[in-house]
Amino acid sequence: MAGPYFPPLEVAGQTLVFDHLEPFVLEMATQSRPNGVKIDVRFSNHCFSETFDAAQHDDKAVAVWDGPRRRVFCPIRYGLSQALPHILKGLPTAHVYQTPEANFLRIGVRNDGGAGDYRVFFRVKRGAGAGIDLKLF
């Protein structure tokens, strides 16, 4: 049996799990495919971490590695990430915008009482077999 997509993380003496960010398959009907397409949805650690900045973060910041790049755990992003599966499952009926960088953007309302919108950026590519039509990440 495979382990979790993101391993648990120790933060301030507490073990955080990322069960809500496990990959899932989203099925969606389209005009050209009324029987639907299967979309493999995966998350990155950017959902719960931010870029390391030596001026802002000290050595006690919990490191999260994105390949060779050091990032640090962000409790605000972690809290907001709890809503991501729900937001992405709502994409078939949501307004989605394309950015100049060829990413897509879904703007949602923050659920933590913070100021500003919750912007969700993602990319879509063709699936690589196994009954998957598209990959969203």
Indicate if the pLDDT at residue 122 is higher than 60.
yes
What percent of the residues of the chain are helix, what percent strand, and what percent coil, each to the nearest 5?
Answer: 15, 40, 45
Cβ neighbours of residue 127 under 8 Å, at least 6 residues apart? 38, 39, 40, 133, 134, 135
Question: What pLDDT sits at residue 96?
Answer: 85
Tell whether 88 is covered by a domain: yes
Structural domain range at position 39: 9-44+79-136
pLDDT at position 1 over 60: no
pLDDT in the model for residue 71: 97
Instruction: With H, G, I as helix, E, B as strand and everything else as coil, classify residue 31.
Output: coil
Token representation of residue 135: 């990959």
* Per-residue model confidence as pLDDT tens digits over 8-64: 999 999 999 999 999 999 999 888 888 899 999 999 999 999 999 999 999 889 999
Report pLDDT digits (tens) over 74-120: 999 999 999 999 989 998 888 888 888 878 767 666 666 666 677 88
Specify the pLDDT at position 11: 96
Give the Cα separation of 25 and 43 in Å (integer): 12
Within-domain flag for 1: no
The domain tally of the chain equals: 1
In 3-state terms, what secondary structure has residue 93?
helix
Residue 121 lies in a domain: yes
User: Is residue 94 situated within a structural domain?
Assistant: yes
Instruction: For tokens 């969606």, name the residue.
Output: 28
